Amino acid sequence: MKERFVTETLHKPKGDFDIKLRPNRFADFVGQNKVKERLELSVQAAKTRGDVLAHVMLSGPPGLGKTTLANILAEAMGVNIRVTSGPIIDKPADLAGLLTSLERGDVLFIDEIHRLQKAVEEYLYAAMEDFVIDIMIDQGPNARSVRLNLPAFTLIGATTRSGLLSAPLRSRFGLTNRLDYYDAAELQAIVERSARILNVDIDKQGSFEIAKRSRGTPRIANNLLRWVRDYAQVKADNTITRDIADKALAMLNVDEHGLDEMDKRILETIIERFSGGPVGIGSLAVSVGEEADTIEEVYEPYLIQEGYVKRTSQGRVATQLCYEKFGKKKGPGQPELL
């Protein structure tokens, strides 16, 4: 249960807390400067022409600001936004209901768009390109297709796995942007902004300590800030310093490199149970008691980026840095990766 608590704390949005800290203007959005510059230019051009914004695809790991950018785009265009996700839209009729409720220029935001049903995705093609949708009326011999005209709208799709998008769907987006992990300075600015909104006193060293343990992800930074705020409120007169942040995050089992308990379990399992690898993702998932998809999408990207794990055709392999992290030596029979 402890590992699950850590996972929820680091990686899950916190509802109203998450919405409260979410910026609603480009000026308040920290990081992703190239993406932000392209989107701002597109908004300015569309507004100058009196046109709707082109369809936008946002990809990248979870927690980097895809939903936030979708809301900022709608706010900048002065239009409404309808939010849904790919797994929720089960059949074309659900999509038709969403599309026919839009007004000109409105934004339809579909999170995890790569998980749309194939039949639903094909309905999107004509809607995105020609702003029309065909619906079937009646059944059997009396069945007939009726074409409905839709107001010009903007579809914003978000995905954590852009490789799963079909080519026909991907080609219909006018703007495709990938969000990358943040550096510590950017995350520190986000932590300090969030602390101001929450009326929490925090010094530079305290905000940097939280930022450097946030795995390059604003959502994790805000969730860690929430925990450190609670700790400081109870044990430190509601003031966050470097020492207080360090004690609070140690209590949460988040180390100085941002590794939580599940990260360490994954790395130790590769070293101890599988002699450093290679090990398949299925075997690794069973050994640590976590879903394979969760390891691939949530934990593995950061571990690979930081150089603790290498992904090979045979499976996952612990690197020399991983052995040094746990004070262990690589056995003589274990492979060296080029």
Active site residues per annotation? 66-67, 111, 160, 219
Which of 105, 152, 145 has its CA nearest to residue 129? 152
In sequence order, what are the residues at sequence separation of 6 or more whose Cβ sits closer than 8 angstroms to the Cβ of residue 103?
79, 80, 151
Site of tokens 């490199």: 257
Name the β-bridge partners of 82. 108
Q: b/e per residue, 109-125, with b = 16+ CB within 10 A?
A: bbbbbbbbbeebbebbe
Spatial contact of 157 and 113, defined as CB atoms under 8 Å apart = yes
User: Do 188 and 178 contact (CB within 8 A), yes or no?
Assistant: no
Helix, strand, coil percentages in the chain from 3-state DSSP, rounded to 5: 50, 15, 35
Q: Among 9, 1, 20, which Cα is nearest to 210's?
A: 9
Other CB atoms within a 10 A radius of the CB of residue 225 amount to 28
Enumerate residues 6+ apart whose C-beta is below 8 A from 215. Answer: 10, 181, 258, 302
Buried b (16+ CB within 10 A) or exposed e, 72-98: bbbbbbebebeebebeebeebeebbee
**How far apart (Å, rounded) are the C-alpha atoms in residues 325 and 180?**
25
- Integer angstrom CA distances of residue 228 from 186, 207, 233, 236: 19, 10, 8, 10
